[in-house]
Amino acid sequence: MAQAVEEWYKQMPIITRSYLTAAVVTTIGCSLEIISPYHLYLNPKLVVKQYQFWRLITNFLYFRKMDLDFMFHMFFLARYCKLLEENSFRGRTADFFYMLLFGASVLTSIVLIGGMIPYLSESFAKIIFLSNSLTFMMVYVWSKQNPFIHMSFLGLFTFTAAYLPWVLLGFSVLVGASAWVDLLGMIAGHAYYFLEDVYPRMTGRRPLRTPSFIKALFADEAVVVARPANVRFAPPPGEEFHRD
């Protein structure tokens, strides 16, 4: 069993493995009171006035208590982050890292700007960790890039992946969780999807081109996919989704 888990962990692509490791270590450290969440949460005043810039990163690493919700988000992080990095971003590690950087920047900006808007500032002030939102962003991007995969929710009904974010949003509302977290992830995910996939097809321009200094950090090997002539690929297999 331990060997199987170790092999599964080693087979993860670099970004997924690094993010999952940092999230698990940070959350366990807080649960054991080795690390204090008060040193991790997003606080604009401390960032600007006391130069605690690490909060811009650490608020994406802490997933609250180690309960069922934590396991659920670790599943999403391990699964959909891995699927994106191995498929849509295969051979483009720098582009995948830039997608996460873009998403984190959008989420942080929304919370900071929302905190300055009357009548909304109180709601945004309660959002001090954006880890769940970033995970939901990855789910949204994956669903947009794989819209026709068939899924099942708890065996109750089936749907295509394009509706996965909305199904999860509805479930969050039903169980009494805050919908803001999921909505922020959907907004950031849609912003990336529009600027990376829709806008370039409309105008021929790609505004989210990965900067060269980020590409220099990752040595990606060229991926060559050979497709035989006159051969049609089969449609993607159905996928079943369970949320306990």
**Which helix (H) or strand (E) element contains residue 151?**
strand 150-153
Residue 233 pLDDT > 80: no
* pLDDT band (50, 70, 90) for residue 224: very low
Mean pLDDT of 209-217: 91
**Which helix (H) or strand (E) element contains residue 2?**
helix 2-10
Residue 93: what residue type? T
At 220 the pLDDT is 60
* pLDDT band (50, 70, 90) for residue 44: confident
- Select 1-218's CATH number: 1.10.10.10, 3.30.460.20, 1.20.1540.10, 1.10.3720.10: 1.20.1540.10
Taking the alpha carbons of 193, 113, 210, 78 in that order, is the dihedral positive or negative?
Answer: negative
Q: With contact defined as beta carbons under 8 Å apart, do 59 and 40 qualify? A: yes
Burial of 51 (0-12, 13-18, 19+ CB in 10 A): exposed
3-state helix, strand, coil in the chain (%, to 5): 60, 5, 35
| DSSP calls for 153-172 | ETTTEEEEGGGHHHHHHHHH
At 77 the pLDDT is 86
Pick left, alpha or beta for residue 243 (phi over 0 → left; psi -120 to 50 → alpha; otherwise beta).
beta
Residues 53-62: tens digit of each pLDDT: 999 999 999 9
Q: With contact defined as beta carbons under 8 Å apart, do 184 and 132 qualify? A: no
**C-alpha 84, offset from chain centre:** 10
Most confident of 6-20, 170-184, 223-237: 6-20
Mean pLDDT of 93-99: 95
- C-alpha count within 13 angstroms, C-beta hemisphere, residue 182: 17
Residues constituting the chain: 244
Residue 234 pLDDT > 50: no
Return the SS3 of 241: strand
Instruction: Report d(CA 164, CA 46) in Å as an integer.
Output: 37
Mean pLDDT of 148-171: 86
* pLDDT band (50, 70, 90) for residue 1: low
Residues 18-34: tens digit of each pLDDT: 999 999 999 999 989 89
Residue 122 pLDDT > 70: yes
Number of H helices, E strands in the chain: 12, 2
User: In this structure, what DSSP letter does residue 204 have?
Assistant: S
At 231 the pLDDT is 43
Mean pLDDT of 43-55: 91
Q: Which two tokens stand for residue 243?
A: 């949320």
Residue 189 pLDDT > 90: yes
Mean pLDDT of 219-237: 50
At 197 the pLDDT is 93
Residue 221 pLDDT > 70: no
